[in-house]
Structure 1
Amino acid sequence: MLHQAIWRKGNPDWQICGIPEKFYTDHGSDFTSNHMEQVAIDLKINLVFSTVGVPRGRGKIERFFLTINQLFLQDLPGYLGNQTCTSLLTIKELDEKLLNFIISNYHHRVHGTTKKEPIHAWNNSGFLPNMPESLESLDLLLLNVAKPRKVHSDGIHFQGLRYIDTNLAAYVGESVIIRYDPRDIAEIRVFYQDKYLCTAISPEISDYTVDLKDIVSARSKIRKNLKKQLDSGKTVAEEIALSKQKDLEEKLNKSNSKKSKLKRYFNE
C-alpha cells in the first residue's frame, strides 16, 4: 500500500505521489512492526498512532473510507446490503473498479472543505513531492521479503516457479535476497549483499498479472490432484496459465453476450 502511494503511478491521470511527512494509522500489527518503524526512520516519516478505540484521531482517513463505502462499494455485486445481485467480484475486478472510481470520480468531485476538485488542488498547488532516489531503493525498504534464495544454473526457484535474468549467470551458487509485490509475482527484485542486482521474470507467466494467491491456489490444486492420484503432469506455471486463459474466455463470452443483447434490442 505505502509502496504504491509513494511511487509514480503507471496511469498518467493519477499524479499523486511522494513520501508523506506524517503517516496516520491505527495499531494494526503491520503498522507497529519493527519493519515499519525502520521504514519510517529511513524515509523520515513521522508515524502518528491514534488512541486505541478512538478512531477520531484518524478522522480524515475514516471519512475517506465512508465516502468509498457510500459512493462506491454499496453499488457493487456482492455488497452485503445489495440483495438485488447475487454475482460476486474477484479481488482483481474489485481493484480495477476501485482504480477507475478514484481516477474518474473521486479526483473530480468538489471537496466539501477546499471547494476544489482534489486533482486540481494537487496540480495547482505548486507542491514538489519528495521522492525516493530510485524505485530500487524503495523496493529495498517496502517490498515483501522472502527467505534467502540460491541462484541455480537455471535461475532462482520460488513458489514452484523459475525466475531468470542474464545478470544472474555470474552469481550461480550465491545466496541472494528476493523481494516481490504480492499482487504480481510474475517478476521479483533480486538483491545481492543489500544492493539491487536485477529484476528476474518467470517466463512461463510473464504475459499475465499473477498475485501470490494465484500461486498458492495453483499449488494447492496440484497437491489435491496428487492425493487423489489424478496427476495431470501440469506444473504450477501451466496451471496458472490455464486458469488465466479460462478467465479471459469467460470475459470474452460475457462481452459478446452483452453486445448481442444490445444489438437485438436495437433491431427491435
Structure 2
Amino acid sequence: MHSGDKSPALAELTEAQREQAMSRFRVLRSHTERGVPLPRAAQAAGVGLRTIERWLAQYRADGLAGLVRQTREDRGRRKIPPEAVELIEGLFLKKPQPSAAAVHRRVLALCKEREWPSPSYSSVYAIISRLDPALTTLAHEGPARFRDQFELVYRHRASHPNAIWQADHTQLDVLIRDASGEPVRPWLTTVIDDHSRALAGYLVFAGAPSAFQTSLALRQAIWRKADPSWAICGIPDVLYVDHGSDFTSKHLEQVAVDLHFELVYSTIARPQGRGKIERLFGTLNTELLPELPGYLKHGKPTTEPKLSLSELDRAIGNFMLGTYNARVHREIGIAPQTSWSGNGWLPRMPDSLEDLDLLLISVAKARTVHRDGIHFQGIRYMDPTLAAYVKEAVTIRYDPRDVAEIRVFHRNRFLCRAVSPEHSGQAITLKDIQTARSAHRRALRGQIRERVTPVADFLSPHTETTGPPAAKTSIPQPKKSKLHTYREDLE
C-alpha cells in the first residue's frame, strides 16, 4: 500500500463503500467457503489473479473494511509546483493559441531549467482543460466573440404597439429573374413592431439597399393598408435601425423630425439588439424560401430560378400576412396581428398620404402635361384637374410597386392623383413594365433572326459564283504615330 493510503473503519463506510466491499466479498466467498481455487475464482469474476490475491490479503487483515477501495490522503493535490501551473496556464493563454503538446514541450524545458518536477502530458492537458471557457475565449478569439457568447443580454419588449419599430435589410437566399431575364439575388427590407412582432411594412427589390428603398418600406408601414386584414399602421415613437448608410442618411433624420419619432441606432457590430427582426428573417429563410424555385443552399441554387421580382413580392406578402402575422407567436403566446390590435386604440397618423409622400418618396420625375395627359414609362395618365395645366411643367411622384397611379405636383403644390385609363383598378409595378419591355425586345430579336437567317443562306451560294472579286487598289497609308495625346493627332 502507498504510505498515504488509509483503510476506513467499518462504521465509517458509506452505503456505496459497503456495496463495493460486499461485491468483492462475494467473489472471495467462492474461494473461502467453497474451496474454489483462486485462479478459477478470478477467471469467473473477470478480474486479475494478482487483484483477487490482494483482496484476500486485505480481507484477512481488516475484514470487510479492508475490501473498500483505499483513498490517498494526497488525492486532489497536485505534485506540480503552483509556479509551474501558472506557467502552463499563461503559456496556453498566449496568442496564437498553442496546442497542449506545444505547451507541454515548452514546460518540460522550463521545468528542467528550474529543477521542478516534470509534469506529464496528461497533467498539462488536465490543467488546460480546467481553465474557464470565458477566459480562453477572450484570450484567443477576442472581445467580440467573448461578448457574443458570455456577456449578459438584456431582452426587453416594448410596452405597447408602435412604441418601437425595427427596420433592417437582408439579402434573400433565392435567385430570381430580373427585367432582362438574368438571375439576380434580391434584397428584402422589413419593418416590424417590437411589442407585437407584427410586420408593418416590407419591400422586395434588386440592387443594393438605399435610402429610397427604406423610404418605400416606411411609407407602406406607416400608411393604412388596402388589405383589411393588415391593420398595422401609424407613426412609431421610436425607429430602431443599424448603422447602414441608408439609415444614417440626412433624409431619414429629417423624416424623423417631421413625423416626430426618435431615431435610435444599434451599437456597431452588436446584432443582439436586432434579434426580433433577425428571427423574422430566419423564419422566412427556413419556411418560405426553400419552397420557391431558385432557392440557394450553401450558395448554390437547388432549382432553376423562374420567379420575377413581382412574383417573389407576392409570395412573401402572402406568407407574411397569411401565415406569420396570423399564427400564434411562440414568444408572446398570441398572433402578432391580434397583439397589435389589442383592445382597440388609435395609432398616430400623418395628415395625408400626400404629406407622407413629400417626406418619404425622395425620387421625383419632371414631366410636361400634354393634351392627352402625362406620359411616364409608356403609360398615359389622366385627371380632369390637368386640363388647366396643359404644356405646364409638373413633378410626379409614384410608388414603384404600383404605377397605375401617380401623384402630380405643380410648384411644390399637390394637384391631383392621375390614373392610367388602360390600367384602372389594376396594380402594376415598375418591375412588371420593365419585364414586359424586355420580353417584347427578346420576341422582336427572335423575329429578326427568323427573317435574316434564310436571306443569309440564300445569298451565300450566289456570292460564290459571281466570280473573283475585283482587285483592290492598294493605297499607301501614312505612318501613324503610336503615341496619341489628343484626338487631333488621329486626324
Specify if TM > 0.5.
Answer: yes
Residues 24-173 of structure 1 aligned to structure 2 (within 5 Å) = 24-81=240-297, 85-86=303-304, 88-173=306-391
Inter-partner Cα distance in structure 1 for 2:304 and 2:433: 27
Moved more, 188-197 or 106-115: 106-115
Instruction: Give the aligned residue type for 1:50.
Output: S
8 Å CA contact 2:365, 2:397 repeated in 1:
no
Residues 11 and 224 (structure 1), Cα distance of their counterparts in 2 relative to 1, 3 Å cut: closer
- Deviation at 1:111? 2.3
Which SS does the other structure have where 2:398 is aligned?
strand
Inter-partner Cα distance in structure 2 for 1:15 and 1:54: 32
Which SS does the other structure have where 2:269 is aligned?
coil
Inter-partner Cα distance in structure 2 for 1:221 and 1:13: 35
Residues 216 and 84 (structure 1), Cα distance of their counterparts in 2 relative to 1, 3 Å cut: closer
- Deviation at 1:157? 2.4
Inter-partner Cα distance in structure 2 for 1:29 and 1:211: 26
Does structure 1 residue 198 correspond to structure 2 residue 416? yes
TM-score normalised per structure 2 = 0.42
Contiguous gaps of at least 5 residues in structure 2: 1-216, 449-491
Inter-partner Cα distance in structure 1 for 2:281 and 2:442: 39
Which SS does the other structure have where 1:65 is aligned?
helix
Contiguous gaps of at least 5 residues in structure 1: 231-268
Moved more, 183-192 or 195-204: 195-204
- Deviation at 1:14? 1.2
Match of 1:239 in 2: none
Inter-partner Cα distance in structure 2 for 1:112 and 1:37: 34
8 Å CA contact 1:145, 1:178 repeated in 2:
no
The two structures, once aligned, show a CA RMSD in angstroms of 2.8
Match of 1:234 in 2: none
TM-score normalised per structure 1 = 0.74
Inter-partner Cα distance in structure 2 for 1:97 and 1:223: 27
CA displacement, residues 26-68 of structure 1 (integer Å, 9 cap, x when unaligned): 2333323332222111111211222333322322221221122
Structure 1 segments of 4+ aligned residues over 4 angstroms from their partners = 82-85, 217-230
Inter-partner Cα distance in structure 1 for 2:290 and 2:447: 44
Identity among equivalent positions (%) equals 57
Inter-partner Cα distance in structure 2 for 1:84 and 1:38: 44
CA displacement, residues 59-99 of structure 1 (integer Å, 9 cap, x when unaligned): 22212211222222223222113976545322222222222
Inter-partner Cα distance in structure 1 for 2:249 and 2:269: 19
Does structure 1 residue 6 correspond to structure 2 residue 222? yes
- Deviation at 1:169? 0.6
8 Å CA contact 1:144, 1:180 repeated in 2:
no
Match of 2:74 in 1: none
Which SS does the other structure have where 2:325 is aligned?
helix
CA displacement, residues 88-141 of structure 1 (integer Å, 9 cap, x when unaligned): 322222222222222222123322332222122122244321111122222222
Match of 1:20 in 2: 236
